[in-house]
Amino acid sequence: MVDPVVTSRLQFALTTIVHIIFPVMSMGLAPFLVYFTWREIRTRKPIYEQLRRFWTKIFAVSFVVGTVTGIVLEFEFGTNFAAFSTIAGELFGGPLALEGMMAFMLEATFLGIFVFGRARVGDRLYFVSSVAVGLGTWLSAVWILIANSWMQTPRGFEMVVENGQDVVHLVDPLAAYLNPRFPYMFVHMQNAAVESVALFMAGIAAYHVYRHHVRGTDVENVAFWERTLKIALVALILTAPLQVVHGDLYARHVYETQPQKFAAMEAVWDTESYVPEYIIAFPTSLDAITDPRAKELLGLGIPGGASWLASGGDATAEIRGLDSFDSEAPPVAVVFWAFRAMVGMGFWFILLAFWGGYRWWSGELFEDDLLHKSLMASTVLGIVAVELGWVVTEVGRQPWVIQGVLQTSDGVSPGLTGSETLLTLAGFAVVYLGLLTVYSYVVTRLIRAGPPTGDDLRSVSQASPPSEQPAGEVANDE
């Protein structure tokens, strides 16, 4: 017999893991596109038109695939987690509806102008469309993260009985929507998206720069890739340190509001003080892989580091162990190793950022082949780190779907059988793998095609309404 709780969780995990790639790309690209559009209008330099047009294509593909996969996720609340939807629908449904009516409609409406309207509208309206598309993308994150953060730290509700069933009744929308977890999740997620796209841009640009400057291959539009690499490095220098610093504050908040999750992140089973923080950990046996315990691991650790992290400066602070909680522990191995991998990548991204910044400052950015190879190897690591972060967030909350209120096993659709969920899990795996393959193929084709050049750029510039072009600047650039 197959447990429908397990297969429903696996199905939702699979669809979420694939779906999150596309919002990360669109949310991370949004501020870059606003910047490229502003610089294009302000300077009339072809390089910014190239940047805007090239990355807009990848943004548009990400938006389309993200929309398709996101809609399916919302349907899964009804098909696989109907009991949860019934109990928490009054609170959970509001943010999801607002995400569609407010954020999605804003983004979808102005995306048409932004993608197809450069030659048809004036500069002001076109720039407004870039801001509206970016704002819509980030507003989607606001409402989705409001819903998810409420599940982590539920506030502003009371349980009432309706038709013989306990349900969530919203009594304070501000307390519910602006719950303690939301600002931490929003800042961490949005910064991670920009950082991930900066790594993606840097990795692709480094490949072309490496071929041209190190291997001596004649690369078309090498100036475009050089500019892309520099812009990506600036973004990486800004976002990589912030992600680690903010992550420290976020972890402290988790310790205060979800101590069981924090204990799983640090593999603390018995309540104790002066708990080490392992930067690099090695299991001593196969059992230590599947059942890690902080005191029994080998590796590079900071004595009292986990206690210091939890308390904000006290290395002797006590961390409550997993054995002291009434509910069963989350899958500790998954949470512990995912957290370690995510943190390790975060410090690697800082090294890459300042390594690239130093090479730029010393005038050797385009000649450092080891830097180029490191950036190429890290092209998608930002997205991998985001995936690991969500694994820690969602798996670490188990066995609760609403922390302290509703367990996941009680939120699954009644009457759902294991064979039904196993069948849909297999179907979703095939479909989503296919979507991801097609998306990767299309993006690869766009990257290989490169930016628009030559007459194509000039025709767009000449098609722009002449009344809004700064006098003399178009002619000078051409």
- Give, for all 478 residues of the chain, the pLDDT tens digit: 788 999 999 999 999 999 999 999 999 999 999 999 999 999 999 999 999 999 999 999 999 999 889 888 888 988 999 999 999 988 888 888 888 888 888 888 899 999 999 888 999 999 999 999 999 999 999 999 999 999 999 999 999 988 888 899 999 999 999 999 999 999 999 999 999 999 999 999 999 999 999 998 888 889 999 999 999 999 999 999 999 999 999 999 999 999 999 999 999 999 988 888 888 888 888 888 888 887 777 777 788 888 888 888 888 889 999 999 988 999 999 999 999 999 999 999 999 999 999 999 999 999 999 999 999 999 999 999 999 999 999 999 999 999 999 999 999 999 888 899 999 999 999 999 999 999 999 999 999 999 988 766 644 444 444 434 443 333 334 3
CA distance 117 to 464: 10
Those residues whose C-beta lies under 8 Å from the C-beta of residue 40, and which sit 6 or more positions away, are 48, 49, 51, 52
| Residue 470 confidence (pLDDT) | 40
Q: If you search the block for the tokens 């392992």, which residue do you land on?
A: 278
**Count of other CB atoms within 10 angstroms of residue 170:** 16
What does pTM read for this prediction?
0.92
CA distance 6 to 281: 29
Name the region of 282 (left: φ>0; alpha: ψ -120 to 50; beta: rest): beta
DSSP designation for 404: T
Check if the beta carbon of residue 233 is closer than 8 Å to that of residue 360.
yes
Residue 285 half-sphere exposure, CB side, CA atoms within 13 Å?
4
Name the region of 6 (left: φ>0; alpha: ψ -120 to 50; beta: rest): alpha
Check if the beta carbon of residue 393 is closer than 8 Å to that of residue 189.
no
Nearest CA-CA partner of 87 in 174, 157, 4, 179 = 157
Q: Where are the beta strands (DSSP E) in 200-355?
A: 272-273, 277-282, 298-302, 318-319
Structure tokens at 349: 């991204």
| Residue 200 confidence (pLDDT) | 98
Q: Where are the beta strands (DSSP E) in 261-321?
A: 272-273, 277-282, 298-302, 318-319
| Residue 456 confidence (pLDDT) | 66
Check if the beta carbon of residue 221 is closer than 8 Å to that of residue 450.
yes
CA distance 453 to 237: 30
**Count of other CB atoms within 10 angstroms of residue 56:** 21
Q: Three-state SS string across 133-181, please?
A: HHHHHHHHHHHHHHHHHHHHCCCCEEEEEECCEEEEEECCHHHHHCCCC
DSSP designation for 211: I
Q: How many residues does the structure list for the chain?
A: 478
| Residue 160 confidence (pLDDT) | 92
DSSP-assigned letters across all residues of 324-365: GSSSPPP-HHHHHHHHHHHHHHHHHHHHHHHHHHHHHHTT-T
Per-residue pLDDT tens over the stretch 155-167: 999 999 888 888 9
DSSP-assigned letters across all residues of 82-106: HHHHHHHHHHHHHHHHHIIIIIIHH
Check if the beta carbon of residue 55 is closer than 8 Å to that of residue 36.
yes
| Residue 462 confidence (pLDDT) | 46
